[in-house]
Amino acid sequence: MTLIKSISGIRGTIGGAVDDNLTPIDAVKFAAAYGAWVKQQRNKENYRVVVGRDARISGEMIQSLVMNTLVGMGIHVIDLGLSTTPTVEIAVPMEHADGGIILTASHNPKQWNALKLLNAKGEFLNGVEGEKILKIAETNSMNFSEVDDLGKITKNEAYIDLHIDEVLELPLVNKKAIEAANFKVVVDGVNSTGGIAIPLLLERLGVHPVKLYCEPNGHFPHNPEPLKEHLTDLSEAVVKERADFGIVVDPDVDRLAFMDETGEMFGEEYTLVACADYVLSKIPGNTVSNMSSTRALRDVTEKHGGVYEASAVGEVNVVELMKKNNAIIGGEGNGGIIYPASHYGRDALVGVALFLSLLAEKKMKVSELRASYPNYYMSKKKIQLTPELDVDAILKTMEEKYSHENLTTIDGVKIDFSNSWAHLRKSNTEPIIRIYTEAPSQKEASDLADRIISDINTIADI
């Protein structure tokens, strides 16, 4: 059982001992620390925070604890109920709120949940802000309101529809072309809120959705991370239904992956590549992704005359670099699309609409579209951490071992070889070291990952 406290929030497994897992006491303590931080930002009479959750089994319990803790802090809560991470992000500025909390553990299995924290812009907190909240929680330096000053909870379950309205109003979403294409698409909503939002969006775009695991009951039918090995049912359904393609999202709908008409993965790394290709074909500009993402985005960006740059892993780091370099689209290679014309957050709904627009205008099959992009292959592996492992020392030794190569150390160690790369870093969300590699073939990528893991095992004497 695990509890991970970081600048992006608190994440853990349900049940067990306080401060070792995500228990009700931990949820209340961290929500109170966030509430105290919100009140430090501006001195005003009324504070408002938007709260929404994915469909996890523990979600209703955690949401009730979080909302009523904020009420106890004298903060008014806008309760979105079942929602998505990007929906909460757009709701915060629309409600003129002081912040937002999303209750989701993203791609983690059902025993996990988390509090993901937003500022008044509806964007994830930066490192300084996150550290302040961790300090408040650590020192218990929060004051609760007296009875006449308690906050109130107001329900507003219209925001998924409002979110869809916002997506449909984006100038580059070609509604006429999409409707004319008469697409048929299988949707795997992993029995969470993507099963609500994605089919509704498709219907509004004139697409015929075939629902697979779209009941938002929190009983994930497979590992919720949208990887090929977890998606055999979607692959079979796409072929059986003779669909144009398949869509899968993670439980909080900020990651997006596609499956082509033959039941093969388009590649979650290529979700951003395709969407960027479409946007850059209309509006020249720059792009950003994190350094664990495919080189194909760089290639596509340069094809359109733009400049590509890589950030440290983490949405807040991508967003910071996008703002600095005026990127018109960016994101992460895990299928996260960040399109500033909408908002600065990963958004699967925006990604679906842009991808459909691209496909409708090109009038080609998804497999043909994938074949039109530079071909890179990735391997994504991990090493489970144990308390005795000194991760910083391991990374430092790896840096020294490969000092003759092109190295980047702003986030773990990334080793750029002539036609491949390896990136190893400690995860922010799980007790693991991630090892990502990319090469011209799957075998080369896997072999490189195995070589790096062997190096680490030797260093750590595992």
CA pseudo-torsion sign 195, 196, 201, 204: positive
pTM of the model: 0.93
User: CB neighbours (10 Å) of residue 45?
Assistant: 6
* Strand-pair category, 377-384 with 432-439: antiparallel
Out of 106, 124, 157, a domain closes at 157
Q: What is the structure's pLDDT at 1?
A: 54
Residues 35 and 90 in one domain: yes
Contact of 297 with 306, CB cutoff 8 Å: no
Phi, psi of 418 (to 5 degrees): -60, -40
334-345 exposure pattern, b = at least 16 Cβ within 10 A, e = fewer = bbbbbbbebbbb
Provide the domain limits for residue 424.
377-460
Instruction: Count CA within 13 A, CB hemisphere, residue 322.
Output: 25
Look up 106 and say whether it is catalytic.
Answer: yes
Mark which of 102, 127, 157 sits at the end of a domain.
157
364 and 381 both lie in a single domain: no
pLDDT for the residue 384? 87
Are residues 90 and 166 in contact, defined by beta-carbon separation less than 8 angstroms? yes
| pLDDT score at 431 | 77
Whether 124 and 213 share a structural domain: no
Same domain, 171 and 148: no
The verdict on 305 and 381 lying in the same domain is: no
pLDDT of residue 3: 83
CA distances from 326 to 204, 296, 310 (A): 31, 20, 13
143 lies in the same domain as 208: no
Strands (E), 292-408: 308-311, 327-332, 336-338, 377-384, 406-408
pLDDT digits (tens, 9 = 90+) for 136-177: 999 999 999 999 999 999 999 999 999 999 999 999 999 999
Cα distances (Å, whole numbers) of residue 134 to 52, 149, 266: 21, 25, 39
Verify that 193 and 269 share a domain, yes or no: yes
Residue 206 and residue 96 in one domain:
no
Instruction: Please name every residue paired with 287 in a beta bridge, in sequence order, or none if there are none.
Output: 308, 329
Last residue of a domain, one of 371, 396, 424: 371
- Structure tokens, 200: 């509704």
Q: How far apart are CA 92 and CA 36, in angstroms?
A: 18
Strands 75-82 and 47-53: parallel
| Sequence letter at residue 356 | L
CA distance 10 to 276: 32
- State residue 256 phi and psi, 5-degree precision: -140, 130
Bridge partners, residue 423, by sequence: 414, 436
Asked if residue 383 and residue 273 are part of one domain, the reply reads: no
Specify the number of domains making up the chain. 3
Shared-domain flag, residues 167 and 312 = yes
Distance between CA atoms of residues 250 and 105, nearest Å: 10
Per-residue pLDDT at 337: 98
Distance between start and end Cα atoms, the chain? 22
Domain match, 64 and 147 both? yes
Residues 413, 344 within the same domain: no
> In the sheet that 308-311 helps form, which strands lie side by side, from edge to edge?
308-311, 286-290, 327-332, 336-338
Distance of CA 225 to the CA centre of its chain: 11
pLDDT for the residue 432:
86
Determine contact, residues 142/73, Cβ cutoff 8 Å.
yes
Q: What percent of the chain has pLDDT over 90?
A: 89
pLDDT at position 101: 98
Cα 367 from Cα 130, distance rounded (Å): 42
Contact 101, 125 (CB under 8 A): no
User: Which is the catalytic residue, given 8, 58, 83, 106?
Assistant: 106
Rounded distance between C-alpha atoms, residue 248 and residue 271, angstroms: 11
Residue 50 has a CB neighbour count (10 Å cut-off) of: 28
- Between CA 248 and CA 260 the distance in angstroms is 12
Burial of 398 (C-beta count, 10 Å sphere; 0-12/13-18/19+) = buried
Q: What is the pLDDT of residues 87-136, one digit of tens each?
A: 999 999 999 999 999 999 998 999 999 999 999 999 999 989 999 999 99
- Other beta carbons within 10 angstroms of residue 442's beta carbon come to 12
Phi-psi category of 185—alpha, beta or left, where left has phi over 0 and alpha has psi -120 to 50?
beta
CATH number of the domain that residue 280 is part of: 3.40.120.10
Q: Which residues of the chain have pLDDT under 70?
A: 1, 429, 462
